[in-house]
Structure 1
């Protein structure tokens, strides 16, 4: 699976970083970065939770 980020919706709240810090990172300018092109099987539960908890619905799985 792949994570899709809608940069227009993302407000860099960091909820996803708190849930899946191995996958998501906020830089010093509060831009969200996603590590890797595909979600590793071991990260899928946390990433699924991060997508569900995003307050702006800026993340989705494809």
Structure 2
């Protein structure tokens, strides 16, 4: 699994960070950072929930 955030789509709602704080961080300048773009199997469901919670579909998941 590869996790990315499209900065052109992201509006920094922070729902990804709420869904998976171990994978995403909303910075002071309203920029989302992916903390782990290749999450361990036990975090992959959280990554999928974060992607599903994004209102702009900025969080993208590429499955292996």
TM-score range, shorter chain: over 0.9
Partner of 1:59: 59
In the alignment, is the contact (CA less than 8 A) between 2:4 and 2:37 conserved in 1?
A: no
Distance 1:18 1:41 in 2: 19
What is the root-mean-square deviation in Å for CA atoms of aligned residues?
0.9
- Following TM superposition, where does structure 1 have runs of at least 4 consecutive aligned residues deviating by more than 3 angstroms? none
Alignment length (residue pairs):
62
Q: Which deviations, in whole Å up to 9, do the C-alpha atoms of 1:3-51 show, x marking residues without a partner? A: 1211100000000000100000011111100112311111111110110
| 1:27-46 to 2 correspondences below 5 Å | 27-46=27-46
TM-score (norm 1): 0.92
Gaps of at least 5 residues in structure 2 are none
TM-score by length of 2: 0.90
Aligned to 1:26: 26
**Which runs of 5 or more residues in structure 1 are unaligned?**
none
